[in-house]
Amino acid sequence: MKLREMRPVYVIGIGLHRYRPLSDTPYVRLGLTAVRAALDDAGIAWRDVQGAYTGVTRLGMAVSRPMLRHLGATGIPMTQVENASASGSSAFRLACMEVAAGVSDVVLAMGVDKPAPVQRAESLAGLPSLAGGHIVPFTKYALLADEYMARYGASPADIAAVAVKNHRNGARNPFAHRRKERTPEEVLGDRPIAGHLTRLQCCPVGEGAAAVIVASGEAVDRLGADRARCVRVTASAQRSEELYGPKSFDAELTRETTAAALADAGVAPSGVDVVELHDAFSIEELQYVEAMGLCGEGEAAGRLRAGEFDIGGRCAVSPSGGLLAMGHPVGPTGVGQIAEVTRQLRGEAGDRQQPGARTGIAHMVGVGAVCIVHVLEAAVRDGAAR
Partner 1 sequence: MAEPHPAARRAVIADRRPSGPPDLRGIRCTACGRAAFPAQDLGCERCGADGAALRPAALAGAGTVSAAAIVHRHDGPGIGAPFTALAIVLDDGPFVHALLDGDGSPAPGTRVEAVAAGTDDDGGVVEVRFALAERAAGGAE
φ, ψ of residue 317 to 5 degrees: the values are: -110, 125
Provide the minimum distance between the beta carbon of 23 and partner 1 in the complex, in angstroms, as a whole number.
Answer: 21
Q: Dihedral angle at the C-alpha atoms of 21, 120, 365, 162, nearest 10 degrees?
A: 50
Closest separation in Å from C-beta 118 to partner 1: 13
CB-CB contact of 311 with 354 (8 Å): yes
Nearest distance, CB of residue 191 and partner 1, angstroms: 8
The minimum distance between CB 241 and partner 1, in angstroms, equals: 10
Helices 156-170 and 137-152, interaxial angle, to 10°?
120
Alpha-carbon span 109 to 213, nearest angstrom = 6
Residue 185 neighbours by CB under 8 Å, 6+ apart: none
The number of residues making up the chain comes to: 386
Nearer to partner 1, 25 or 129 (CB): 129
**CB-count exposure of residue 185 (10 Å: 0-12, 13-18, 19+):** exposed
- Write down the least CB distance from residue 147 to partner 1, Å: 4
* Residue 229 near residue 346, CB atoms below 8 Å: yes
| Nearest to partner 1 of 145, 357 (CB atom) | 145
CA atoms within 13 Å, Cβ hemisphere of 245: 0
Give the side-chain half-sphere CA count within 13 A for 110.
37
Q: How far is CA 364 from the centre of its chain?
A: 6
Give the residues lining the site for partner 1 (CB under 8 A).
126-131, 133-136, 139-140, 142-147, 150-151, 191-196, 243, 245-246
Give 50 or 198: the residue with its C-beta nearer to partner 1: 198
* CA 351/CA 217 separation, integer angstroms: 30
| Alpha carbon distances (Å) from 16 to 32, 62, 366, 375 | 9, 21, 21, 20
Shortest reach from residue 74's CB to partner 1, in Å: 43
Instruction: Give the nearest distance from C-beta 57 to partner 1 in angstroms.
Output: 18
Q: In whole angstroms, how close is the CB of 17 to partner 1 at the nearest point?
A: 26
CA dihedral 275, 280, 282, 285 (to 10 degrees): -30
**Residue closer to partner 1 (CB basis): 137 or 271:** 137
Q: CB-wise, 192 or 355, nearer to partner 1?
A: 192
Shortest distance, position 205 Cβ to partner 1, whole Å: 12
Nearer to partner 1, 61 or 150 (CB): 150
Closest CB to partner 1 among 147 and 299?
A: 147
Closer Cβ to partner 1, 140 or 314, answer by number? 140
Nearer to partner 1, 106 or 330 (CB): 330
Nearer to partner 1, 193 or 228 (CB): 193
Backbone angles phi, psi at 114, to 5 degrees: -140, 150
Shortest distance (Å) from residue 163 CB to partner 1: 17
End-to-end CA distance of the chain: 19
Burial degree of 147 (CB within 10 A; 0-12, 13-18, 19+): middle
